[in-house]
Chains A and B, each alone.
Chain A
Amino acid sequence: MNRQMRIQDIRQMFPALSKSIYGKPLVYFDNAATAQRLKSAVNKMESLAYESNANIHRAVHKLAAEATEEYESTRDAVKDYINAGSREEIIFTSGTTASINLVAFSLGEVLIHEGDEIIVSEEEHHSNIVPWQMLCQRKGASLKVLGVDDEGHLKVEELESLITERTKLVAVTHVSNVLGIVNPVKRIVSICHSRGCPILVDGAQGIVHERVDVQDLDCDFYAFSGHKIYAATGTGVLYGKKKWLEKMVPYQGGGEMIATVKFSGTTYAPLPGKFEAGTQNINAIPTLKPAIEFMKLLRDKELQDEIKMVKEYMERSFASLRITTYGVPRGTEPKVPLYSFTVEGAHHEDLALILDKMGVAVRSGQMCAEPIMDRFGVTGMVRVSLAPYNTMEEAEYFFKSLEKAISMLV
């Protein structure tokens, strides 16, 4: 099998990629917002809905047993994939945002008091800022910000002095959804822990491109979404260390999260049920299994080589254009194939609109990360984010289209 065939093989697994847009082949470069759906994930959801649809855990009948098995075996698959210590440490949610909100509430209730501090970074997605702001407001705590330098690097060296004895929690992203640089999470975790401070890692982008081993990272929480790794939307994971999950209060009350309910008081279910109140997304959560299988398939050496060629072409081409890119890696520093840029004299929205008419889907605007836009003094950027199914031809076509768009506007 030649190399070109490799990416082409992968493309066959994504029906959406053969779509035409305005009569032109779709070039989907907005993968950081959501990836395209894997056919095997959609099949899984369909077969669960048609063949094994029943509410999990509760009933004794055959369908309920099948549905429960699908759901709980997904927990094991996720646990193995991110190398969590135990399956109780895997909580299913509706996505990264829900995972972070869960921690902000449930840990916040027991850990944060008036006058305490929480640290986030300047390059966070709004989902890793606002839940902490809300927590601070509730508790009379304050939010502190770890800055980003002019090239888009977290000022990790300032973290140590930023943490005080009042700092109770740090929340940073694994990979910024604007800058694409892989943050030195392991180092950040060890700084936090040396100061006795737990840390949550927003893995929404990190899980897509990095091998994540939560025990190796040693982070206290890791949050990610299923839809960015080709599983169904409305699926998400919160990994949390058992010692924290056990201390935390429940997030939502309802069915399944209880042990006994009396009007005199209720006792809660053990982990992970304690945090999974109500009927879960039972038809969708198991799509994480085929998604994980697909993610493992991507580790193929030859395929990785081909993907790398596309990535290097992207990086070379961006460097040759007279545009401003954000998040420039130093030397061999890891950066995911996610590129945000601005063009002098051309508005990000205009560029995205023209690219759209050429069949190229990119993201424009603030990308749910207003603080980092302010940091670089822009009202928005254009972002292109690639997935392993994006080809060299698409990359070439993108740059041709971008140059055409720029020539129309400037």
Chain B
Amino acid sequence: MITLEEAKKAVIEDFSMYDEWLDKYEYLIELGKNLEPYPDEDKTDDKLIKGCQSRVWLDAGIEDGKLFFKADSDAIITKGIISLLISVYSGREPKEIAGDDFGFINEIGLKENLSPTRANGLVSMIARIKELAESYSSPKDDEVLTAEDAKELAPLYDNVVLALKQVYDPEIPVNIYDLGLIYELVINKKHEAFIKMTFTAPTCPMADEVLAEVKKNVADVPGIKACEVELTFEPPWDQSMLSEEARVDLGLDG
């Protein structure tokens, strides 16, 4: 497979072949028509990109560590643009995609030649590609911790867990840690905390408040420099994730 830089160069060259924007549109229309079909049942609202006049769905899946995108739009030129983006970024490691600056878009002059609403749409598409790539590339697994590091980080973990235990589910009188809502907790050498968590139901009305509280509580732990919280519903939470303590509190084992 060609490198990301080569793929970008190829697109820039393809585009520069046409002097007239009308011809560039013809090229985009052709790309749009040839885009792999996107299953109708996956055209759900959470895959829809906001900020476009036309509707655009974008999703990604990982295979052998490589991220593959699929997308669709009801407008063919938009579909061509998204197809072009996908052709450059699909099949690469999430980390490489997430780390890219997407500057080649400016080189082909796409943004300047789109209407402001369409240009916003393009920005939203790029943001979604980046977001998907980031969600698949964990920011911490490239670190090798020495015994020294581990010793230094251990008390931080304890304190972060204590901070998490101060946050309560708005509907159940058990803290979110013992409820089993915290799926991942990683603190890197820069003392940045990464938390992946869920809620008992995807429709929690207090979700934003709880996430903000988690972020604040953890960031306030002495020694922690920053905290990022990611929400996931994969896998969905169920009762088996409750801690022993929580089961007793809720009277589930008695």
Contacts and interface: CB of A to CB of B under 8 A. Distances in A.
B53 A365 contact: yes
Given A364-B53, A379-B55, A408-B29, A350 B22 contact: no
Given A347-B54, A353-B118, A379 B21 contact: no
A147 B98 CA distance: 50
B75 interface: yes
A352 B54 CA distance: 12
A22 B34 CA distance: 28
B3 interface: no
A405 to B, nearest CB: 9
A350 B33 CA distance: 13
A354 B53 contact: no
A396 B115 CA distance: 24
A358 interface: yes
A319 to B, nearest CB: 26
A357 interface: yes
A356 to B, nearest CB: 7
A409 interface: yes
Contacts of B114: 353
A380 interface: yes
A379 B114 CA distance: 20
Interface in A351-410: 352-354, 356-358, 364-365, 379-380, 408-409
Contact of B25 (A353, A364, A379): A353
Nearest to A365: B53
A186 B87 CA distance: 59
Contacts of B22: 354, 357-358, 408
A357 B77 contact: no
Residue from the set B54, B78, B118 with the largest chain A CB neighbour count within 10 Å = B54
A94 B31 CA distance: 45
A170 B19 CA distance: 54
B77 A349 contact: yes
A12 B114 CA distance: 30
Contact of A349 (B21, B26, B29, B54): B54
Contacts of A364: 53
B156 interface: no
B76 interface: yes
B74 interface: yes
A117 B167 CA distance: 47
Nearest to A347: B75
Interface string A325-367: 0000000000000000000001101101110111000001100
Contacts of B55: 379
Interface in B12-52: 21-22, 25-26, 29
A22 B22 CA distance: 11
A350 B78 CA distance: 8
A97 to B, nearest CB: 20
B53 A357 contact: no
B53 A356 contact: no
Contacts of B21: 22, 357
Contacts of A350: 29, 54, 75-78
A380 B55 CA distance: 11
B29 A409 contact: yes
Contacts of B74: 347, 379
A187 to B, nearest CB: 37
Interface string A142-158: 00000000000000000
B205 to A, nearest CB: 20
Contacts of A349: 53-54, 75, 77-78, 118
A409 B76 contact: yes
Given A365-B53, A379-B55, A347 B76 contact: yes
Which A-B residue pairs are the 7 nearest by beta carbons? Answer: A347-B75, A349-B75, A349-B54, A357-B21, A349-B53, A350-B77, A350-B75
Given A350-B29, A409-B76, 12 more contacts: A347-B76, A349-B75, A349-B77, A349-B78, A350-B75, A350-B78, A353-B77, A353-B114, A353-B115, A357-B21, A408-B29, A409-B29
Interface of B: 21-22, 25-26, 29, 53-55, 74-78, 114-115, 118
24 contacts: A347-B54, A347-B75, A349-B53, A349-B54, A349-B75, A349-B77, A349-B78, A349-B118, A350-B77, A350-B78, A353-B25, A353-B114, A354-B77, A356-B115, A357-B22, A357-B25, A358-B22, A364-B53, A365-B53, A380-B53, A408-B25, A408-B29, A409-B29, A409-B76
